[in-house]
Structure formats: structure tokens, C-alpha cells
Amino acid sequence: MRAMDEISVSQSQAQKREKRKLALNIAAYLFPIIIIVVVFVFAPLAIILFFSFLKSGPYGQIVYTFTFENIGAILGGGYGKVFLQSIYLALQTNLLCILFGYPIAYYITRFGGKWKTLWIFLIIVPSWSSYLIRLYALKTLVGTKGTINTLLMNLGIISEPIQILYTNFAVTMALVFAWLPFMILPIYAALDGLDRSVLEAATDLGATPFRRFFRVTLPLTRGGLLAGSILVFIPTVGEWLVPSIFGGSKIMMAGSLVAHKFTAVGNIPQGSSLAIMLAATLVLILYLTIKWGGREALEKAL
């Protein structure tokens, strides 16, 4: 027995050496790519992090003095409300995306038949066009003199235009409009990957279609829901284009605050701090989501 164990130990050591050698080899080949990633991804992040501990001079220039002032100002100042509102709007968008996206994905998997791929294609295609152009197209629909108001007034249903733009509703609607495809896709993938015989087994064991959905289909597509939520929620919190087009000056989101600090105010260190805080918040949320939602389910979905 002992001799056998020794053989297996020395074998596993040899295997480990082999593995290390292979890892080194691969790293050598990947070296140029690693350099590019470090320079263009991590370096800007490091610079932002660096800026966030500096001071801003009277003319908007960066003063190279180390300080916690920016972070103190953010934690103590009125920015918390904007952050909370961002998270609230993103949460709301996420829920609405699930509410609209799940039935759509379900319908396509269930009744799409040979057109399934076409339907999914049609859902993806708009997101290939410019984000900005799509948002402006939506704006022409809902503006005071937009298509919807004009139509309703011409039909005599309303006498004066409904104020849709520059409301919370408009921002949420635009966010859902922009991000819905990213919710539909992972849910569709999860639903499409469901083993039909498992659903049949549930029916066979006495579950009505309604009960089956909540006991089997929904739990088994949780990974897709989670993946979709991450894809939608995170970019939504940092959104600044949608609130600036659809919210005007009334609705500020965390992203617009960062943009505001950088462009309008010209306080780069404070903008950097805000950006770092935003990123930190999102990483925390992502971590909690994965921890509670189940890593396995998510890995399966992605």
C-alpha cells in the first residue's frame, strides 16, 4: 500500500510540474495581450483612484496634495440621495425588465418553433444601432409635440399634451426600452436549455401548468434571471445619457453626477472619487447578488 501511495504522490508531483510549465508557456504567449489589458483597463482605473485622493485648484487644475476631503464630502454631502435614487431607478428598471422580459422569452421558447432564432435576432438587432440614436428616436415618440401626443390630440382623446418627458416615468421607460434585450437573452437561454422531460415529469406527478411554473420552471431558470439582472442593473445605476435626455435637470443619477463633476464643474478629483464610490457600490452589490443568488446558477447561465 505504502509503495503504491508513494508512486501516486510522485506522479502527482510530476503532474503539478507539468501543469506549472504549461501555465508559464501560456503566460508567455499571452504576454502582449496582458500588457494591453494592463495599460488600457487597469491603468485608467488606477489613475482615477489616484485622482480621487487629490485636491482641485481654483481654476480646475489638479493640485497634487493627498487628502480624504473628496470622500468625506461625498459621504457627508447630499450625494447619498442621488446614489439611492440611482439604485432605486435601476432596481425598478430591473424588475420591469423581468416582468416584460420573462413572458417574452417564455413565449419565444414555447411557441417560437423554427422561428425562435429569428425572434431572438429581431430582439438583438436594435441594440446594434447607436444607443444615442435609439434614445432620440424614443424621445420623438413621447415628446410634448411627439407622435403619441399628436395622435391622441388629433383623435380628440386629450385636449392638451400629456407631460411624459422629464418625469420619473420617462426615465424608467427609456431605461427599460434600452436594456430589455439584455434581460430577455439570458432568460431565453435558460428557458431554452430546460430539459423538457423534467417539465413533463412535473405534469405527470400532478402539477398543474401554473404550479409547475413556480415549482420547476422558475427555480430552474433562476440563473438566467440573475445573469440578466446583473447585465441590466449594473449599467443602469451608472447611466447618465438616459437621465440627461429624458430627465432633464430634474432627475439625477449617479452617472450623471460623475459626468457633471467632470464636465460642468470641472472638479476632476471629486468626479474621480464619485466614480470610485459608484464602482465600489456596484462591486458590493454584485458580490451580494452572487452570494445570495447562487454562484452555480449564475455560472450555468453565463
Binding site for other proteins (CB under 8 A): 195, 197-198, 200-208, 211, 215-216, 219-220
Q: How far is the CB of 67 from other proteins (least distance, A)?
A: 51
Cβ neighbour number for residue 74 with a 10 Å cutoff: 20
Are 116 and 106 a contacting pair, CB within 8 Å? no
Q: How far is the CB of 86 from other proteins (least distance, A)?
A: 33
| Residue nearer to other proteins on the CB measure, 222 or 260 | 222
Q: How far is the CB of 222 from other proteins (least distance, A)?
A: 8
| Residue nearer to other proteins on the CB measure, 164 or 187 | 187
| Residue nearer to other proteins on the CB measure, 207 or 285 | 207
Q: How far is the CB of 205 from other proteins (least distance, A)?
A: 4
Q: How far is the CB of 223 from other proteins (least distance, A)?
A: 10
| Residue nearer to other proteins on the CB measure, 142 or 190 | 190
Q: How far is the CB of 229 from other proteins (least distance, A)?
A: 18
Q: Which long-range contacts (CB under 8 A, 24 or more apart) does 16-20 make?
A: none
| Residue nearer to other proteins on the CB measure, 161 or 294 | 294
| Residue nearer to other proteins on the CB measure, 158 or 198 | 198
Q: Which residue has the cell 426600452?
A: 177
Please give the distance of CA 21 from its chain centroid, rounded to a whole number.
Answer: 38
Q: Angle between the 79-111 and 222-237 helix axes, to the nearest 10 degrees? A: 140
Q: How far is the CB of 200 from other proteins (least distance, A)?
A: 6
**CA–CA distance, 92 with 233 (Å, rounded to integer):** 9
| Residue nearer to other proteins on the CB measure, 208 or 263 | 208
